[in-house]
């Protein structure tokens, strides 16, 4: 018989040798099951339209109080009256939860992409992309299933990084940031996410085989394809032709940078001489090379070598003497040329100006007591961000900032702008575009790059010899 349950009555219910149930008179579908070990559990009983008896577990007493148990039971009673089957729905929800726990999530997709694609990138690029995956993409989207990621998710993640997250106002009323706006990071993170989604939705057989190795099904739709914010913003912020042209150095700017780099060396040498004279007088012996003078001279030579050859900064910094053949006037870059995925070495013809710079570098290394190093630009570094090897120059931001300030140069970079300058000057001089692109180590885009494998070494040698003469003219001009 149903009883009007209350807390006193429930506490008086003694456990028996077998479990038994007590029905609540106030809510007939609500029952309290008493187990032999003393546990008391709530459940709701009902019948489906077909007349089958069903039971839904509600919770354990007293964690689930009598009042809350009655409220749950009334809620289920309304659903049953509307034709629902709470037990079947609860079972289906539980099964869906279990299936989701074992399903491939977007985090699994990201990790599969990282395993398959990132090893092909340069170490510095690989670390940057790995950070975006670990710090931005997986925390934001990792728990979703791949098919649940929408263009809104993509746009929201990008916008959150670009706009930042504001914090509570400071004591003086000024705004604060939980996360500082980072539009450049937003664009880079979007590019990583776009590549992941393209890989997930690609129909290429090789990509399909890679996905299968990780148990990843192909994504039917690429949500990044409809997230237009990045493309439209990029177009809106695009540089004009005049702005792009300012990336190349003028004659005056080039001369100013060479003068500033030389002045930095002279200033460092003078300070070193004064310091060494004072310390020598105090200690009574000759001191070794001053590291500040060595670093300033090394950066000036690095700038000069890149100015004559047009190589990438990290290629010059990681140059080895064994790869420089002065007899053949040829420098072979093996280690860093992986951006085009060909694995081919980049051959750099050495002009008369470049050979003169290399001779100056040898003299500087002898003066710095580093003539035995295999590196053209030896330094006491523990690991390069690009090649992950120790012992050669890598970071130069401090020297670059000083030289730019002294030369009155603003805008992006210092070393990389030399490549813009060489390309621009060669085009202005009428040198074939394929030759100037080969000087910079670029692979021709499209079908030309597929079929045209010409080294154009004689043409490049002539172009760089002309450019060496131009640099000499610019530096000698008054």
Instruction: Specify the pLDDT at position 467.
Output: 96
Query: 458: which residues sit within 8 A by CB, 6+ positions away?
Result: none
Q: Model confidence over 422-455: pLDDT tens digits? A: 999 999 999 999 999 999 988 888 888 778 888 8
| 53 and 190 co-located in one domain | no
Q: Are residues 300 and 274 in the same domain?
A: yes
208 in the same domain as 115: yes
Residue 243 lies in a domain: no
The model's confidence at residue 394, banded by pLDDT at 50, 70 and 90, is confident
Query: Which of 102, 133, 155 corresponds to the end of one domain?
Result: 102
Pair (320, 435) in one structural domain: yes
Answer for the pair 350, 330: CB distance below 8 angstroms, yes or no: yes
Q: What is the pLDDT of residue 237?
A: 45
- For 407, the domain range is 250-476
Cβ neighbours around 416 below 10 Å, total: 13
Q: Do 353 and 424 belong to one domain?
A: yes
SS3 content of the chain, % helix, strand, coil (to 5): 55, 10, 35
Which residues, in sequence order, are bridge partners of residue 61? 40
Identify any residues that bridge with 60 across adjacent strands, giving them in sequence order: 41
Q: Residue 60: CB partners within 8 Å, gap ≥ 6?
A: 39, 40, 41, 42
Question: What whole-number distance in Å separates Cα of residue 452 and Cα of residue 24?
Answer: 86
Residue 441 and residue 340 share a domain: yes
Lookup: tokens for 452: 């045209």
Number of domains within the chain: 3
Spatial contact of 289 and 367, defined as CB atoms under 8 Å apart = yes
Check whether residue 195 and residue 321 sit in a common domain.
no
| Whether residue 88 sits in one domain with residue 34 | yes
Band (pLDDT 50/70/90 cuts) for residue 331 is very high
| Residue 348: inside a domain | yes
In a shared domain, residues 228 and 88: no
| Dist. CA 247–CA 464, nearest whole Å | 20
Round to whole Å and give the CA distance between 177 and 188.
Answer: 21
E strand residue ranges, 183-240 = none
Q: Which of 209, 238, 267 is the last residue of a domain?
A: 238
Q: Is residue 260 part of a domain?
A: yes
Residues 329 and 470 grouped into a single domain? yes
The answer to whether the beta carbons of residues 2 and 28 sit under 8 Å apart is: yes
According to DSSP, the β-strands at 40-47 and 165-167 are unpaired
What one-character-per-residue DSSP string does 342-358 give?
Answer: S-PPEEEE--HHHHHHH
CA 186, CA 127: separation in Å to the nearest integer?
Answer: 16
Shared domain for 285 and 399, answered yes or no, is: yes
Which of 65-74, 170-179, 263-272, 278-287 has the weakest average pLDDT? 278-287
| Structure confidence by residue, pLDDT tens digits, 26-48 | 888 898 999 999 899 999 888 88
> Residue length, the chain?
478
Q: What SS3 state is found at 237? A: coil
Same domain, 227 and 347: no
Look at residue 245 and tell me if it is in a domain: no
pLDDT at 327 over 90: yes
Residue 391 lies in a domain: yes
The answer as to whether 12 is a domain residue is yes
Q: Is 19 in contact with 36 (CB distance < 8 Å)?
A: yes
Per-residue pLDDT tens for 112-135? 999 999 988 877 788 899 999 999
pLDDT at 155 over 80: yes
- With cut-offs at 50, 70 and 90, classify the pLDDT of residue 230: very low
Q: What is the pLDDT of residues 3-16, one digit of tens each?
A: 788 888 888 888 88
- Contact (Cβ atoms closer than 8 angstroms) between residue 376 and residue 321: yes
176 three-class SS: strand
């Amino acid at each position: 018989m149903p009883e009007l349950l209350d807390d006193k009555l429930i506490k008086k219910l003694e456990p028996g040798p077998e479990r038994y149930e007590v029905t609540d008179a106030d809510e007939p579908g609500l029952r309290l099951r008493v187990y032999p070990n003393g546990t008391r559990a709530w459940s709701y009983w009902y019948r489906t339209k077909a007349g089958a008896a069903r039971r839904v577990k509600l919770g354990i007493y007293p964690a689930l109080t009598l009042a809350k148990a009655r409220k749950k039971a009334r809620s289920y009673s309304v659903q049953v009256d509307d034709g629902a089957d709470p037990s079947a729905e609860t079972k289906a929800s539980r099964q869906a939860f279990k299936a989701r726990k074992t399903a491939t999530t977007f985090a699994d997709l990201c990790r599969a992409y990282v395993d398959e694609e990132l090893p092909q990138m340069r170490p510095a690029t690989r670390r940057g992309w790995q950070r975006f995956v670990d710090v931005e993409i997986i925390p934001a989207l990792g728990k979703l299933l791949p098919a649940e990621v929408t263009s809104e998710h993509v746009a929201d993640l990008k916008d959150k990084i670009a706009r930042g997250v504001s914090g509570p106002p400071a004591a003086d009323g000024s705004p604060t940031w939980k996360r500082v706006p980072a539009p450049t990071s937003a664009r880079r993170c979007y590019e990583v996410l776009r590549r992941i989604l393209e890989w997930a939705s690609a129909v290429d057989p090789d990509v399909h085989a890679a996905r299968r190795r990780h148990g990843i099904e192909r994504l039917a739709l690429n949500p990044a394809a409809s997230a237009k914010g990045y493309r439209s913003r990029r177009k809106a912020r695009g540089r004009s032709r005049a702005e792009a042209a300012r990336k190349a150095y003028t004659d005056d700017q080039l001369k100013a940078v060479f003068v500033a780099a030389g002045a930095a060396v002279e200033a460092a040498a003078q300070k070193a001489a004064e310091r060494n004279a004072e310390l020598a007088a105090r200690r009574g012996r000759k001191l070794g090379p001053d590291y500040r003078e060595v670093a300033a001279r090394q950066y000036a030579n690095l700038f000069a070598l890149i100015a004559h050859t047009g190589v990438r900064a990290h290629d010059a910094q990681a140059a080895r003497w064994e790869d420089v053949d002065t007899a053949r006037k040829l420098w072979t870059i093996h280690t860093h040329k992986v951006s085009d995925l060909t694995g081919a070495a980049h051959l750099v013809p050495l002009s008369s100006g470049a050979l003169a710079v290399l001779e100056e570098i040898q003299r500087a290394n002898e003066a710095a007591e580093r003539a035995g190093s295999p590196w053209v630009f030896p330094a006491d570094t523990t690991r390069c961000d690009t090649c992950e090897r120790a012992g050669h120059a890598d970071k130069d931001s401090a020297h670059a900032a000083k030289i730019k300030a002294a030369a009155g140069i603003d805008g992006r970079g210092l070393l990389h702008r030399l490549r813009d300058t060489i390309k621009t000057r060669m085009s202005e001089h009428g040198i074939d575009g394929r030759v100037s692109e080969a000087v910079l180590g670029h692979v021709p885009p499209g079908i030309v790059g597929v079929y045209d494998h010409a080294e154009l070494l004689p043409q490049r040698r002539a172009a760089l010899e002309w450019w060496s003469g131009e640099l000499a003219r610019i530096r000698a001009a008054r």
